[in-house]
Amino acid sequence: MKRWTGVIVLFLSVTLLSLIWHFPASWVAQHSWVKQSLPKPMTMSEVDGLWWQGKAKISWQNRPVGTVEWQWHPVGLVTGSLVLNLKLSAPKAHLEAQVSADTTEIAVKNMNGTFSLSYLSNLSKSASILQAAEGDVVLKGVSTALSEASLNSGKAWPSSFKGQVVLVDFDMMGVHLPLLKVTPELKGESIKLLLNGTGKNWQLTGTSTVAANHRFQNNLILTSTTPQSFPSWAGMMMQKTAPNKAVLKNTGRW
């Protein structure tokens, strides 16, 4: 009798785990606790697949973001956190990253991919100024983390930030940057962005610092090999100190 009891318990346990494992993602997404856990501007639709591996269309402030595919990573069972591999696909964007969350922080690791500036301008009213801009943004190994306390305070600020962002063929209001590499350095409540841009026989270098108190500071230098190769837009936006050199030093609020 004890033998059969053990077999029945094992059978029921396996059956229950199988049922849980095959819960459809659409069924899980319908529950109120899932909707309440999402940021208020975010909505999901056309949810497909299983709870641990599926896809859904995401919108932000009623603006389409794209299709997000997710896959649960079992390493979370060891670390005590929820770990997901995410992939975003849209007509002008393709991003991949690993996202982990626990009771203390939310972290995004090793984000790679590209998106156009026009795609970014459609996601937020504050970015609508980029509608007239052309160019692509390339993310290389970008990682960041936000503590739970920072998120709850309403003044979100990263506790870590690293990687590289590359702007390719930027063109807006006469300003053309063929290539601009941006490398962030987080120091407390400020992020220093190391800038290195190149064009035809000219180079842009310097730093741009943004702070948690919504202040920014720019310190940039542009030099060309000859006065003839000096870009015309630089003379309008920067202070020219020589026929082949210009600087930009300013502060303000963002």
Q: Highest mean pLDDT range out of 5-9, 145-149, 167-171?
A: 167-171
Q: Tell me the pLDDT tens digit for each residue of 78-101.
A: 677 788 999 999 999 999 999 998
Each as own residue / partner, the long-range contacts of residues 65-68 (CB below 8 Å, 24 or more positions apart, any chain) are 65/90, 65/123, 66/90, 66/91, 66/93
- pLDDT at res. 10: 47
**Domain residue ranges of the chain, discontinuous segments joined by +:** 40-151, 174-253
Tokens of 209: 């610092």
Mean pLDDT of the chain: 86
Q: Tell me the pLDDT tens digit for each residue of 121-163.
A: 888 776 677 778 899 999 999 999 988 777 777 778 999 999 9
